[in-house]
Amino acid sequence: MVRKISRLPNVRKIRSLKRAINQPYNDEFYHEPGTPPGTLIIDEDAQPPIIFLFDYNQTNLIHKQITHPEECSNYLDTESVSWVDVQGLGNKDILHRLGQAFDLHPLILEDVVNMTERPKIEDYEDQLVIIAKMVVPNFHTYSFYSEQVSFVLGKHYLLTIQEEPEHDCFEGVRNRLDKSKGIIRRQKSDYLAYALLDAIIDGFFPVLELYGERLDILEEEVILNPSQKTLQQIYEIRRELLQLRRAIWPQRDAINVLIRDGSNLISDEVRIYLRDCYDHAVQVMDIVETYRELVGGLMDVYLSAVSNKMNEIMKLLTVVSSIFIPLTFIAGVYGMNFNTEKSPYNMPELNFTWGYPLCLGTMATIAVSLLFLFWRRGWLTNDVNFHKDFD
């Protein structure tokens, strides 16, 4: 999965990360006021669609790439289950032809290409539309890629439309279909939709593991060596966790709608499986909320560490000033140079033979005595014994 991500063009990586983290609600994906409903606005950097077909039953499997969207019509009315996976949104004509092949409402196509769409469920009688957010970990930057995945569930088919063709979290489902693992080949299209939704929800856990590692590193850095870079990383993680929360919160609610309200396209057996998917979504939500609280705690620890560091600096400066204040007083007094010939009270020490060494010795004695006093009270160490301060 990581190797697939690394082959993305640099421009595409930057745009994907901007949508996923920094600017998830970019204005360029919104319609202008007065735009007719059903208008498709395609991102200029979107890659051309690639269409894959899985047509299967308990004994047979057809796995191939489709060139023309009209070919999908040949598999929609059969008793086998057809999974049409469209990867990429860079051709408006292909999307319109795909909509005609599946008899999609224009508003469905509009939701599919709108990358800022909130995860939701839409029931169109003979079709069930599910909009979901999928995240994929980026192990190079310890962050994630995010993209929208749209499901159109029919009686004998499932249409999935992905934003990016390079990476997803459906490889495990594809392997189960190819190798006939588990019960997926014996189930209908609603079970396939559940399996893909479950893969999307489970895809959040590797991302959260990355953030758990980042928080552990930051926690140690905040305590031992806090810096401005540390504060910037805390804000970045806080913002990225907010994006994960915005993705999983409505997704959890959408799954709950499927369980509670149901649909004639989803059997009671699959609704039981969806409960497990809902439980995973709740776990993801709990971990995200826990990490957000940890980030808030790290912010408090950072401010406390910076304050303590400033206190140590001020303590050092205070100790140095306390030592030099009496020494400066002595030097200032004997720097007045009163004439002793005019009066015996005008600094008679100026005529002493050992006056200069005696003055320096007095200064040194005062400095050493103050250092010893500060050391005894614990003011020269980080661990201050407050009981001694009040003796």
Residue ranges per domain, the chain? Answer: 2-30+38-304, 334-389
CATH of domain 2-30+38-304: 3.30.460.20
Q: What pLDDT shows up at residue 256? A: 92
The token pair that represents 269 in the structure block: 């057996």
Q: What pLDDT shows up at residue 38? A: 61
Q: What pLDDT shows up at residue 382? A: 59
Residues 268 and 280: their CA atoms lie apart, in Å, by 19
Q: What pLDDT shows up at residue 23? A: 41
Residues of the chain with pLDDT under 50: 1-28, 384-391
Residues 169 and 153: their CA atoms lie apart, in Å, by 19
Biggest distance spanned by C-alpha atoms of the chain: 125
With H, G, I as helix, E, B as strand and everything else as coil, classify residue 52.
Answer: strand
Q: What pLDDT shows up at residue 385? A: 44
Task: Please check whether residue 122 is in contact with residue 41, taking contact to mean a CB–CB distance below 8 angstroms.
Answer: no
Q: What pLDDT shows up at residue 35? A: 63
